[in-house]
Amino acid sequence: MKELGQEMQKVFTEMVSSGALTKIIEENVQAAVGGVLHECFRDYSPFRKALVEHINQNLSVDFSALGFAGYYDSETRERVERLFKCEHPIFGAIATKGQPTAELAFALGVIRGVTHGQTPKKQ
């Protein structure tokens, strides 16, 4: 019986030094966490239902109407438009129209003033 204990200790020590034991532990922890998360996000899960309801109540943003991107630099505006899939309400998307010139911004401002803030229909 003593020999069996020594052999077990030897195998265990080899597993620790080779990293095999750490790998087994990591795989089992990942599987356990994955299983728990899978259960949490099932369609009938109360957690998933509560999460969906919370998101629907708190993230009701009209991303197409985001206009604040025009107040920052071009790089920030481009990232915001790409991230939120939106475009500047007056200048359009920077990815397709580019950065507006001062002259264009002035002209569009005059047009908006003349039309009392109504955006002319795109042709």
Dihedral angle of Cα 73, 61, 120, 100, to the nearest 10 degrees? 10
Q: Note the pLDDT of residue 43.
A: 86
Tell me, yes or no, whether 76 and 36 share the same domain.
no
Q: pTM, whole model, 2 decimals? A: 0.39
Answer yes or no: is 104 within a domain.
yes
Looking at 43, 58, 73, the residue that finishes a domain is 58
Q: How many folded domains does the chain comprise?
A: 2
Q: Note the pLDDT of residue 77.
A: 85
Answer yes or no: is 119 within a domain.
no
Answer yes or no: is 121 within a domain.
no
**What are the average pLDDT values for consecutive 10-residue runs of the chain, which has 123 residues?**
87 90 92 90 88 82 61 81 86 92 91 76 60
Tell me, yes or no, whether 20 and 35 share the same domain.
yes
Answer yes or no: is 122 within a domain.
no
Tell me, yes or no, whether 79 and 51 share the same domain.
no
Tell me, yes or no, whether 54 and 81 share the same domain.
no
Q: Which two tokens stand for residue 10?
A: 């030897």
Q: Which domain holds residue 92?
A: 63-114
Report the SS3 class of residue 102.
helix
Tell me, yes or no, whether 71 and 97 share the same domain.
yes
Answer yes or no: is 120 within a domain.
no
Looking at 58, 76, 103, the residue that finishes a domain is 58
Tell me, yes or no, whether 37 and 68 share the same domain.
no
Answer yes or no: is 95 within a domain.
yes
